[in-house]
Chain A
Amino acid sequence: MIEHRPDAETAKKELVAKYPSKVGKKRGNQIQINHVAEDGTVPMVLANSRTAPGIISQRGCTYAGCKGVVLGPTRDIVNITHGPIGCGFYSWLTRRNMTDAGADGENYMMYCFSTDMHEQEIVFGGEKKLEAAIQEAYDIFQPKAISIFSTCPVGLIGDDVHAVARRMKEKLGINVFGFSCEGYKGVSQSAGHHIANNQLFRHIVGLDDEIRGSKKFRVNLLGEYNIGGDAFVIEDLLKRCGFELVATFSGNSTYGQFANSQTADLNMVMCHRSINYVAEMMEKKYGIPWIKVNFVGAGASAKSLRKMAAYFEDKELMERTEAVIAEEMVKVEASRKRHAARCEGKTAMIFVGGSRAHHYQELFTELGMKTVAAGYEFAHRDDYEGRDVLPTIKVDADSRNIEEIHVEKDEAKYRNDLSARKAELEAKGYTFADYKGMMPEMDSGSLVIDDINSWETEKLIEMWKPDVFCAGIKEKYVIQKMGVACKQLHNYDVGGPYNGFAGAINFYKDIDMRVNSPVWHLTKAPWQTVEEDVAVAEPVPA
């Protein structure tokens, strides 16, 4: 029997030893062995820091975070990439954001729009071409809004996309706005999220004050991107419980929802990393409090729904919510028991995103599996250690370059009733604007690695031989060539949804399939001897 539990200290030393000394020193601060102290504090992880040149990282760029992640799932804005053709092409339908526009609704998500900059624009400037491209887009499509996404050369040659946006907004009479989301800004996609948040808030939120739908229990869901239909599951749940979902940022969303989102009574933050900025700005300007929720995992979904219902302190809402949870949990438990029997005791590693590496641990726990190592691709320290560390995070040069919008209270629209409710509830122990991060919920002794790279991924698999390794498309086939199942947590291997109760059931089934598939035992032909170091999906001792 192979021992699958190497010593974390030794492992860390081995990982770091490979690098040139400067790189190794830095990686040493980005790799931590978790230790949850009695007061709940955890070790400091260096995060949101530059990837060393030459390292084969999981990370993408600011443009990807802005155009691909945050604005990608909104269906009725014509998103024009200003730059050479590649960036627009690669971000075209590649994130599996689903949307439901109805039979004839406005939906541009299947289109890719680009100014396709050529050398001439690089030399003489691209503003004219951009302006003409916006006009052409308007003439053909007549959308309600057009947005512009800047790629690397745009910043360098000095095109003022915001000035072009202002001119065209005035000329066309529709909303036109730009994003300075050049790929080289920041250190990862994260900067792009922030830039996207800023411009959504600046240019759309607050434009429409009409209350539509129910006047009661109005909520926004922030940081949910409808990968594989996740948002559809949550929409259904909220409706059945009796909540009025005003806007989702930005899964299955429309321009109109953003414009109307300030009419909500509560913001719920799902992916803390990518969207907390909007939550914070909306609270400052409009007085809408925010809470952290999580719909990954059946238990977490129930907890989040209960917390939402508790906020409104309405008996009927709470009862309906409990009824929905009870109904769903019957189905969940039946499925969970069946699959947990086959998955219990197995191990997982999760290296992905800015919140998923934390939240998906819930689902593995429900299956009786242990997450032995985890880390984020583009998160910050607060996502690891909790928001309590926010005041201690040093702002480096890369972060300082990303705009912080100064937001002031909107006296006319500010919801004094909501801030009063917040104070009242807080007095009773209800927590707002609180995120404890990933590490306090992980075992002491587990490995936490920020911005993991291909070398470390392979070493971890060799050393630990986990039963499933969760990552993205670039890592997927490296992991599987090693005989270990990979579950993609960006595109779900074209599976899902994995949110809510129905999603949990899908996940249990998919993980069971992945870790118990007979194919892992067929790596070797009958005439080949099985080498000791070949990972096959044999049961791991608990």
Chain B
Amino acid sequence: MTLLRHTPKGEIKPRENLVVNPAKTCQPIGAMYAALGIHGCLPHSHGSQGCCSYHRSTLTRHYKDPVMASTSSFTEGTAVFGGQSNLLAAFETIFDVYDPAVIAVHTTCLSETIGDDIPQITKKAIDDGKVPEGKVVFHANTPSYVGTHITGYANMVEGMVKYLTKSTGTKGEHAAVIPGWVEPADMRELKRIVTALGVEHVLFPDTDGVFDAPMTGKHVFYPKGGAKIEDIARAGDAKVSFALGPIATRAASEKLTALHGVEGEVLDLPIGLSATDRFVDAIRKAYGIEVAEEITNERGKLVDLITDMEQYLWGKKVAIFGDPDQLIALTEFLQTLGMQVRHVVTGTEGNFITKRLTEINPEANVKVGGDMFLLHQWMKNEPVDLLIGNTYGKYMARDEDVPFLRFGFPILDRQGHQHFPTVGYMGGIRLVEKILELLMDRIDRDAEEPRFELQM
């Protein structure tokens, strides 16, 4: 019995207007995620309360941890008269009740369609004394009808650079590291790698310690993690910035260059061997350092694992969907593993994404601005050995009886992504381990008696 039983095999009818099973969601949730990577920050959703509720629910299901954010709770009257009075009232209530160090306001399709001017309203709030001394309010425009959740992340991170970074006039030796939308574990791993390389740095946003908080018997409203506002400020004096994932971080990197003259390197997300090589090498060159043995060893272990297990990976066909920075790095890594990437879909549009994905996967079906319905049709027409994507892929995986690697956002049915990284060489090892488990479990499940192997 198939689940997605109305998805036809064979002819793929053109669809220009109807999205079916999206491989993306909207901007504000990305802004909320990014803002929670600032210590002591309360994200504020300027729109209907449903937006905030949906974003908090989705992030909570992904992490099984508290996700706190407030809303302007628009009503029909607000939609007619504008959201100024709601936002002013919200500031007052938020500072009284939740006492954040920072409020990061993001907009929604509703407030953008109305045309609310957040800087003007914020200025009025400050003038009216609704923002207590020492507290910070900043914003990002995140209209839901433009781009995707990745755009929202990018816009909020750019907002951090715009509002929160400062230059003292004296350049430091430290680096600014701006990660794309990756997991708390990945942010932690990036800090470990850069530290191991001996480079002092600030990383923002930083969700390490935010969505993976320990159970202590107390709810810490502002968890210990998150980039501190004074650390983000120091990015303005950085010697160089490393922006990881061009779609999610290029805007922030360019803003940092424009505002404070910080030289910026925009790199792929360091997922897999080659992308991590480029990341480590960029730091090596910028700082003229020798790469620490610890890191080179980790690289060697990853190469070792691939050579040891190549026979199980080589030639296997893969379908993959998700976010563009992840897809660029991950499909490159899958090629490194000798796997054949056959179908690639991301919901986020952009010529740069198309160019990179088709360069890396010249033989594959690539759709930028596509949806999972299309991917599923491709899979029916040309079956694969492995599907990689967020939890919504499980329906296709079951229907087509394909092993399924959960990777990306959101993951609503498994845990671990907040604890174990997939970036860097050690993250590469984890990805290979996961892929091997899936493929080899399948071999064990399907092997006929004479061919059932003890050693593999």
Contacts and interface: CB of A to CB of B under 8 A. Distances in A.
Nearest to B19: A116
Given A54-B70, A473-B61, A112 B218 contact: no
A156 B82 CA distance: 11
B64 A52 contact: no
A86 B45 CA distance: 14
A167 to B, nearest CB: 15
Given A80-B18, A183-B48, A85 B148 contact: yes
Interface residues of B, number: 83
Contacts of B98: 56, 455
Contacts of A152: 47-48, 74, 79, 108-110, 113
Contacts of A56: 68-71, 98
Interface string B27-58: 11100000000000000100111110111111
Interface in A128-164: 129-130, 132-137, 139-141, 151-153, 155-157
Interface in B58-77: 58, 60-61, 64-77
A80 B146 CA distance: 19
Contacts of B300: none
Contact of A122 (B28, B75, B91, B113): B113
Contacts of B25: 85-86, 89-90
A126 to B, nearest CB: 10
Contact of B79 (A94, A112, A155): A155
Interface string A226-242: 00000000000000000
A184 B216 contact: no
Contacts of B17: 115, 129-130, 132-133, 135-136
B18 A53 contact: no
B218 A534 contact: yes
Residues of A in contact with B, size category = 35 or more
Contacts of A89: 22, 24-26
Contacts of A118: 145-146
Given A84-B144, A90-B25, A50 B110 contact: no
A401 B53 contact: no
Interface in B85-121: 86-87, 89-94, 96-98, 108-110, 113-114
A111 B53 contact: no
B66 A114 contact: no
Contacts of A188: 49
Nearest to B61: A473
Given A59-B49, A111-B21, A184-B75, A474 B56 contact: yes
Contact of A61 (B5, B49, B216): B49
A397 B77 contact: yes
Interface string A58-78: 111111100000000000000
A3 interface: no
Most buried by B among A56, A112, A478: A56
Interface stretch (A102-110, A216-224, A380-388): A102-110
B454 interface: no
A55 B145 contact: no
Contacts of B145: 84, 117-119, 121-122, 153
Contact of A54 (B65, B74, B91): B91
Contacts of A90: 25, 54-55, 57-58
Given A61-B48, A118-B146, A183-B50, A455 B213 contact: no
A108 B6 contact: yes
B451 interface: no
Interface of A: 18-20, 23, 50-64, 80, 83-94, 103-104, 106-108, 110-119, 121-122, 129-130, 132-137, 139-141, 151-153, 155-157, 182-188, 397-398, 401, 454-455, 458, 472-474, 476-483, 523-524, 531, 534-536
The 6 A-B pairs at the shortest CB distance, nearest first, are namely A61-B50, A86-B26, A54-B90, A54-B93, A90-B54, A183-B48
Given A89-B22, A132-B16, A186-B75, 7 more contacts: A116-B22, A157-B113, A183-B47, A188-B49, A474-B57, A479-B219, A483-B218
7 contacts: A64-B54, A116-B22, A119-B145, A136-B18, A152-B109, A474-B60, A478-B68
